[in-house]
């Protein structure tokens, strides 16, 4: 990757705590619509359905109990799980869809000023072909192809592009293209011209506090922290012309993809009456793996950037089954649920 690329990893960096983004979870009450969008528009592959498809009933019940505890759900909550992956398969970031009734819509009318999960980005070989194909399927784009001029660390600039689609539960689903001489945001399957989830974005009320959380808990690093000014609705987010927002990209050290973005809408931001997590509908969770589970758990308990309301752990670390991986969940300062799972090998750099 070119050294003038603002998304390039720092030389010699490797993850010390948590690796790259492993999974993005959305909740919906319409599984068929979500599955159709993921497989047809984004060309993802469905790889698993439900807890009990390939395991015994007792194991399925144990896994459901574990998830209820981790996700803070009551005993009456019921859901069905769908899982989708891109060309990297299980080695890449997965997209998990939890089909469940009830809950408020986190982002009504796709209002990008509201705090909470905003979007998922996918690399695309051709934005023109992707826009034509996806709209022909009946899925709506918010503004067609949007061109973005991005400044490199050396002061030069390049033009990238994206198409914002109206996804399930009013989530922005982006097809992202970079210039031919630059590395795509994620691996692309030549046969489909698309890749799996490369990043996900969250609208936050305080970017500085959120950054500290990812640095302190996950051991991640900031690659880009800039203020952007919108050109109006043509920018795809439905914001008035001249609206400024802070845009931050965070990566696991050494990672080239599977990162997260933070958008602080500054004076244009709006508090959200719907909590940005289960059982509400929309983008509700990010999942990361770690080889240093005990160290991360201790950081969660003592973190200065943990939510002020004291909801630091939604679950104590525990084994889901004898010999199974330990997992915990913690709310970020913006209220998004962060799931951290113990992995046996080195942290995945992405």
Q: Give the up-direction half-sphere exposure of residue 35: CA atoms within 13 A in the CB hemisphere.
A: 14
Which residue segment(s) compose the domain that 25 sits in?
Answer: 18-342
Q: Is residue 180 part of a domain?
A: yes
| Residue 198 vs residue 12, higher pLDDT | 198
Identify the three-state secondary structure at position 213: helix
Q: Is residue 337 part of a domain?
A: yes
Q: Is residue 7 part of a domain?
A: no
Q: Is residue 350 part of a domain?
A: no
Decide if pLDDT at 217 tops 70: yes
pLDDT of residue 182: 86
- Please provide the average confidence, as pLDDT, over all residues in the chain: 87
State pTM to two decimals: 0.90
Cα-Cα-Cα-Cα torsion 70, 73, 78, 79, nearest 10 degrees, comes to -50
Decide if pLDDT at 312 tops 50: no
- For 152-174, what is the mean pLDDT? 91
Q: Is residue 70 part of a domain?
A: yes
pLDDT of residue 304: 63
How many structural domains is the chain composed of? 1
Condensed to tens digits (0 to 9), the pLDDT of residues 27-65 reads 999 999 999 999 999 999 999 755 433 334 555 677 787
Q: Is residue 263 part of a domain?
A: yes
CATH number at residue 129: 3.10.180.10
Q: Is residue 334 part of a domain?
A: yes
Q: Is residue 4 part of a domain?
A: no
Residue 321's pLDDT band (cuts 50, 70, 90): very low
* Extended strands (E) in the chain: 18-28, 45-49, 80-85, 94-99, 116-123, 141-151, 157-166, 172-177, 199-204, 221-229, 244-251, 259-264, 282-290, 318-319, 326-331, 337-342
**What percent of the chain lies above the pLDDT cut of 90?**
66
Q: Retrieve residue 87's tokens.
A: 């060309």
DSSP designation for 131? H
The CA-to-CA distance between both ends of the chain, in Å, stands at 14
Indicate the pairing of strand 199-204 with strand 116-123: antiparallel
What does the alpha-carbon distance between residue 331 and residue 350 come to, in Å, rounded to a whole number? 23
């Amino acid at each position: 990757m070119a050294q003038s690329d603002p998304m390039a990893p720092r030389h010699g960096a490797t993850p010390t705590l948590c690796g790259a983004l492993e999974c993005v979870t959305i909740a919906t009450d319409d599984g068929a619509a979500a599955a159709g969008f993921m497989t047809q528009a984004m060309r993802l592959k469905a790889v698993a359905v439900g807890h009990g498809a390939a395991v015994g009933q007792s194991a399925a019940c144990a896994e459901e109990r574990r998830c209820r505890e981790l996700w803070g759900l009551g005993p009456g909550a019921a859901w069905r799980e769908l899982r989708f992956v891109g060309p990297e398969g299980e080695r890449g970031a997965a997209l998990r869809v939890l089909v469940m009734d009830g809950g408020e819509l986190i982002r009504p009318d796709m209002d990008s000023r509201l705090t909470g999960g905003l979007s998922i980005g996918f690399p695309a070989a051709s934005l023109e072909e992707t826009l034509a194909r996806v709209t022909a399927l009946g899925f709506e784009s918010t503004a067609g192809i949007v061109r973005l001029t991005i400044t490199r660390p050396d002061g030069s600039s390049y033009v990238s592009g994206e198409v914002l689609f109206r996804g399930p539960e009013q989530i922005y689903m982006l097809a992202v293209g970079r210039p031919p001489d630059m590395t795509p945001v994620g691996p692309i399957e030549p046969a489909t011209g698309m890749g799996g989830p490369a990043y996900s974005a969250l609208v936050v009320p305080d970017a500085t506090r959120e950054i500290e959380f990812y640095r302190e808990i996950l051991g991640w690093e900031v690659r880009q922290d800039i203020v952007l000014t919108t050109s109006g609705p043509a920018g795809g987010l439905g914001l008035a012309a001249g609206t400024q927002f802070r845009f931050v990209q965070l990566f696991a050290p050494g990672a080239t993809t599977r990162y997260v973005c933070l958008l602080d809408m500054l004076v244009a931001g709006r508090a959200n009456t719907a909590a940005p997590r289960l059982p509400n509908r929309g983008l509700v969770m990010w999942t990361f793996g770690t080889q240093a589970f005990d160290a991360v758990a201790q950081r969660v308990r003592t973190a200065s950037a943990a939510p002020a309301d004291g909801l630091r752990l939604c679950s104590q670390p525990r084994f889901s089954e004898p010999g199974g991986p330990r997992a915990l969940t913690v709310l970020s300062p913006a209220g998004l649920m962060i799931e951290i799972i113990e992995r046996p090998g080195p942290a995945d750099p992405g």
